[in-house]
């Protein structure tokens, strides 16, 4: 008999389990084709429930955050409070680290290089997005039709086919468009 003490979310539980008995039960269940909820799957479900309960909503827009500190940083975008400004272009950032990464653009720093073609990038995320050209990876899929995209922006634009949303309107004739580029061509 093994005693396991679990501490999470200010709750303490004691489980007295016989590892051998549990292994025997799992073996029998698997041989009969049953679903077995292991400790790890139980833990995953518990964490998912806790994340849902810890959802913090931005009072200014539709964004949700599971971590309160992330929401506090995000709100600064709306309030303009304690923002870090780029002295070269005036763009504002919520953290000094984000400002430092941005300033690479002005200094021409490109520390991240593609191992396939040698192209360099100032941000790691831009390199990762570029690498999808070589791998053909399309991690963003439409939940309505299943079409896949290499960029999240392209998925969001595609979803307007299903929703009918046309967020770009001409100020002269009020005609609406799904893409900003279509509006520019129209004007």
For residue 53, the model assigns a pLDDT of 57
For residue 126, the model assigns a pLDDT of 92
Q: How many CB atoms within 10 Å of residue 97?
A: 10
Report the SS3 class of residue 171. Answer: coil
All structural domains of the chain with their residue ranges:
81-137, 140-186
Q: How far apart are CA 187 and CA 110, in angstroms?
A: 36
Does domain 81-137 bear CATH number 3.30.43.10?
no
For residue 109, the model assigns a pLDDT of 95
Q: Which CATH number is 140-186 given?
A: 3.30.160.60
Determine the distance from the C-alpha atom of residue 97 to the mean position of all C-alpha atoms in its chain, rounded to a whole number. Answer: 19
Per-residue pLDDT of the chain (187 residues; tens, 9 = 90+): 444 444 444 444 444 444 455 455 445 444 455 555 555 566 666 666 655 556 888 888 888 888 888 888 888 878 877 788 899 999 988 888 999 999 999 999 999 999 999 999 999 999 999 999 999 999 999 999 999 999 998 999 999 999 999 888 888 888 888 888 888 898 8
Same topology between domain 81-137 and domain 140-186: yes
Q: How far apart are CA 89 and CA 102, in angstroms?
A: 10
For residue 58, the model assigns a pLDDT of 87
Q: How far apart are CA 58 and CA 71, in angstroms?
A: 7
Per-position b or e across 102-131, b if 16+ CB within 10 A of its CB: bbeeeeeeeebeeeeeeeebbeeeebeebb
Tokens encoding 187: 């004007």
pTM equals: 0.49
For residue 64, the model assigns a pLDDT of 85
Cα angle 77, 155, 67 (rounded to 5 degrees) comes to: 40
Q: How far apart are CA 141 and CA 135, in angstroms?
A: 16
For residue 37, the model assigns a pLDDT of 52
Q: CA of 75: how far to CAs of 44, 63, 99, 107, 176, in Å? A: 29, 10, 17, 29, 30
Q: CA of 3: how far to CAs of 14, 16, 18, 81, in Å? A: 7, 5, 9, 50
For residue 1, the model assigns a pLDDT of 46
Selection from 113, 133, 110 nearest residue 122 by Cα: 110
């Amino acid at each position: 008999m093994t005693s396991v003490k679990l501490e999470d979310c200010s709750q303490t539980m004691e489980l007295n389990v016989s590892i051998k008995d549990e292994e025997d039960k799992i073996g029998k269940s698997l041989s009969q084709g049953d679903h077995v909820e292991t400790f790890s799957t139980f833990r995953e479900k518990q964490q998912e429930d806790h994340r849902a309960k810890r959802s913090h909503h931005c009072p200014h827009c539709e964004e949700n955050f599971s971590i309160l500190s992330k929401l506090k940083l995000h709100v600064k975008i709306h309030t303009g409070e304690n923002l870090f400004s780029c002295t070269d272009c005036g763009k504002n950032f919520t953290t000094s680290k984000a400002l430092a990464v941005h300033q690479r653009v002005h200094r021409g720093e490109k520390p991240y290089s593609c191992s396939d073609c040698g192209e360099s990038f100032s941000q790691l995320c831009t390199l990762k997005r570029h690498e999808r050209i070589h791998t053909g990876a399309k991690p963003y899929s439409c939940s309505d039709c299943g079409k896949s995209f290499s960029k999240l922006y392209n998925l969001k634009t595609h979803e307007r086919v299903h929703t009918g949303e046309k967020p770009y309107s001409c100020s002269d004739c009020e005609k609406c468009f799904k893409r900003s580029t279509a509006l520019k061509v129209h004007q």
